[in-house]
Structure 1
Amino acid sequence: MFDYETLKLIWWLLVGVLLIGFAIADGYDLGSAGLLTILGKNDTERRIVINAVAPHWDGNQVWLITGAGAIFAAWPTVYATAFNGFYWALLLVLFCLMLRPLSFEYRAKVEDHQKKWCDLGLVLSGLIPALIFGVAFGNLFQGYGFNLDNTMRLSYTGSFFDLLNPFALLCGVVSISMIMMQGAAWLNLRTSGVVEQRAAHVARILAAVVFVTFALGGAWVTQLPGYEIVGAIDANAAANPLNKTVEFGAIGAWMNNFQTYPLMILAPALAFIGSVGVMLLSKKSAALTFVSSSLCQAGVIATAGLSLFPFILPSSSNPNVSLTVWDGSSSELTLGIMTIVAGIFVPIVFAYTIWCFYKMWGKVDSAHIETNTHSLY
């Protein structure tokens, strides 16, 4: 089969694919929820927004669950470290993800004057996770305050409020704007009438915000001190985060991969091209607008991953214990079994997902909502 080094690379790529899949699929759910009160000015319009994502939102959330499960199995040390350091942030995300189905389900059952609370729940369930995911990625470039002693015991020196630094908050704005753009592009594709028109307009505005903030973030990264592994590292050796030397402090070190492998510039180029595509195509083709928005999501996430490689979770407390693709992975046997399982079941999941979209495709309009008052959210 594959050697240990290749398996580590495969699972780095697969985790990246899962994150991109989450941003594209569950991203339009979060984005649609976050834009609910902007795109829907009355109850009928808000029901149009909700029912445009209702057939798919719970299935799309599997991308997040699968991503978390993959990190747990493929990168157990990363999982343990991240969930310890991000405990309160992840608890807030979990609360929002629980708030979303409650708001969806109860909105159709409560009195009209109580629906505003369900609407608020949906908006918060879209905005807060998008912000936290962006802030988390922003902090990766600055390192987290954790340490490992010589017995691999973990200690965390940071706090929740340490995560809310200026660069991380800028990344949070990038995340919110691109997730909301994805939601607007989806509603432009799946609705009609005034909601469709508003969605196209909002998508253009958000695409411009993504373009500007992503460019600012990239310029900022070039001025950040980065991490570099010093000396050779045995990628086929058993994972041991303590068995390496890491230098921290070189300005622009996060750009080294792009200098070594110039083709990586395609990732940020894809993000910029996707955002420009949304701005130019939202009035002409809803389908191409959604494709452009999806490409932008992929480009932004790929840019972050390629910049950080091989680091997964850098440490600001002790750079030498930073977790990388080479020393934060599971055993060769575990990764081998996971690869076989993924090779069998991932195509099945993709086929099932495509079938669901095929069977439940179509635009949602006010006439459909008004004639199905009891069968829709």
Structure 2
Amino acid sequence: MILHELIDFEILRLLWWLLLGVLLIGFAMTDGFDMGVGALLPFVAKTDTERRVVINTIGPVWEGNQVWFILGGGAIFAAWPPLYAVSFSGFYLAMFVILAALILRPVGFKYRSKRDSARWRETWDWCLFIGGFVPALIFGVAVGNVLQGVPFHLTEILLPVYEGSFFGLLNPFALVCGLASVAMLVMHGSAWLALKTEGVIAERSKVFGTYASVAVIALYALAGLWMALGVTGFSFAEAPVVDGPSNPLLSEVLHEGTWMVAYSERPWIVIAPILGFLGPLGVLYGIRAGREGLTFLASKTAILGMISSVGLTMFPFILPSTTDPRSSLTVWDASSSHLTLFVMFTTTLVFFPLVLAYTAWVYKVLWGKVTEKDVLEQSDSVY
């Protein structure tokens, strides 16, 4: 037996779909609070010292957190090449805006303290705001468009052709998803600041966290209702071949009905939206009870539930097509080869635990609250 045949092609495809979900959720849980803190920076901190406190809560960890984003992009490129080709070409301008905003973060961190000028520092603080708010919004808009389907088709030689426009992505449902994403990450950033700071900054963060939690519940419910009543789903015309060649054009896909049929076919997936609602409710309780650790854990639970609900509802679709449903990309027909998935999976088994162990060690070393005394005693620090 050839070594890679030890694991069925079907199982490997499913495992990489799960791993991709883990990477995206990990990115939202880690770099998500960085973006949330950046979006909150001009509002929870009024003085330069307060802003330095806020920045120092994420300054030592944001670069490591962003690794999850890189790993997610790498996983899409290697495990799901058609998904990478369609999304990164069709969403090119949106990706460019995200990258431009993310570039402002390291520049803002490194440059804001280079001059002792209030206007200079305030300018870079607003750059950090853009670096947090804009990616959070566009990531949510992208999810909203994926749920509705994307206007693309595959040629007979599987060349992807995107037929939409950047402004076409900014449709009402996608914008609701974008606002839900912003609210979710602002809530997460608030929970982080409540955990890592004290005094007036922590109190302001709790206020914003309360508002953001209520917004998450309302927007998540609105998006779910809208998806049930106004978003057409996708389904296979007949049972798909789960271990066949990676060629979407071999399957017949229907663009009709609703995504919500998934909950009658797989009732257990209802746990995801339940967690999506329980998470922000837990944040509200944690804030009122003054339990910062519980608040942060509840915020992570909300992220887990909300992102999982998208993937589980759409499964096995990962990027459906509105202009040619037959071109829709699914878990079963858009992956790399059996051998490629196997080699990547065995490599992941070795290195992924090391990444988790190192990340846990970093957070343990850097644990504790950041105070004004800390930053004032380090007046020559980068942040």
TM-score range, shorter chain: over 0.9
Classify the secondary structure of the residue corresponding to 2:205.
helix
| Of 38, 42, 45, the match for 2:43 | 38
Once the two structures are TM-superposed, the CA of residue 315 in structure 1 deviates from its matched residue by: 0.6
**Does 1:95 pair with 2:95?**
no
Contact in 2 for aligned 1:177/1:207 (Cα 8 Å): yes
1:20 aligns with 2:20: no
Q: 1 CA distance for matches of 2:177 and 2:163? A: 22
Q: C-alpha separation between the residues in 2 aligned to 1:349 and 1:176? A: 27
Residues 341-352 of structure 1 correspond to what in structure 2 (within 5 A)? Answer: 341-352=347-358
| d(CA) in 2 for partners of 1:33, 1:151 | 44
Number of the residue aligned with 2:152: 146
How far has the Cα of 1:111 moved from its partner? 3.1
- In the alignment, what sits opposite 1:298? 304
1:127-276 mapped onto 2 (5 Å cutoff)? 127-223=133-229, 224-250=231-257, 252=258, 254-276=259-281
The offset of 1:249, in angstroms, is 2.4
Determine the C-alpha separation between the residues in 2 that align with 1:277 and 1:156.
Answer: 41
SS of the counterpart of 2:333? Answer: coil
Whole-angstrom CA distance in 2 between matches of 1:238 and 1:125: 40
Matches within 5 A, 1:333-344: 333-344=339-350
Distance 2:336 2:208 in 1: 43
Is 1:58 matched up with 2:63?
yes
SS in 2 for 1:65: helix
Q: 1:239: how far off?
A: 0.8
Contact 2:110 2:382 survives alignment (8 Å): no
Q: Secondary structure at the match of 2:249?
A: coil
What is the rounded CA distance, in whole Å, between the counterparts of 2:325 and 2:59 in structure 1? Answer: 45
- Offset, 1:325: 0.5
How far is 1:108 from its partner? Answer: 1.2
Instruction: Work out the CA distance in 2 between the residues paired with 1:84 and 1:44.
Output: 42
Letter of the 1:146 partner, please give it.
F
SS for the counterpart of 2:250 is coil
1:375: how far off?
Answer: 2.1
AA aligned opposite 1:309: F
- How far apart are the structure 2 equivalents of 1:127 and 1:93? 10
> Structure 1: which amino acid aligns with 2:282?
G
* Alignment check: 8 A CA contact 2:286 2:295 kept: yes
Report the secondary structure of 1:61's partner residue. helix
* Residue ranges of structure 1 left out of the alignment (5+ in a row): none
Number of the residue aligned with 1:281: 286
Rounded to whole Å, the distance in 1 between the matches of 2:382 and 2:275 is 37
- In the other structure, the counterpart of 1:10 is 15
Task: Tell me, in whole angstroms, the C-alpha distance in 1 between the residues paired with 2:140 and 2:203.
Answer: 28
In the superposition, the TM-score normalised over structure 1's length comes to: 0.98
- Partners of 1:238 and 1:110 lie apart in 2 by 58
TM-score normalised according to structure 2 size: 0.97
Which is further off, 287-296 or 229-238? Answer: 229-238
Inter-partner Cα distance in structure 2 for 1:69 and 1:108: 33
Cα distance in 1 for residues equivalent to 2:163 and 2:352:
38
Deviation digits for residues 235-285 of structure 1 (CA, Å, limit 9, x no counterpart)? 0111111101111122x2x11221111111100000110100001111320
Match of 1:29 in 2: 34
In the alignment, the residues of structure 1 paired with residue 87 and residue 269 of structure 2 have an alpha-carbon distance, to the nearest angstrom, of 27
Aligned to 1:370: 376
In 1: Cα distance, 2:295 partner to 2:282 partner: 7
- Contact residue 44 and residue 370 of structure 1 kept, 8 A: yes
Question: Hey, what's the Cα distance between the residues in 1 that align with 2:202 and 2:371?
Answer: 9
Task: Tell me if structure 2 keeps the 8 A contact 1:369–1:376.
Answer: no
Mapped partners of 2:90, 2:38: distance in 1: 28
Contact 1:144 1:315 in 2 (8 A): yes
Q: CA deviation at 1:56?
A: 0.3
Question: 5+ residue gaps in structure 2?
Answer: 1-5
Equivalent residue pairs, number: 375
RMSD of aligned alpha carbons:
0.8
2:53 corresponding residue in structure 1: 48
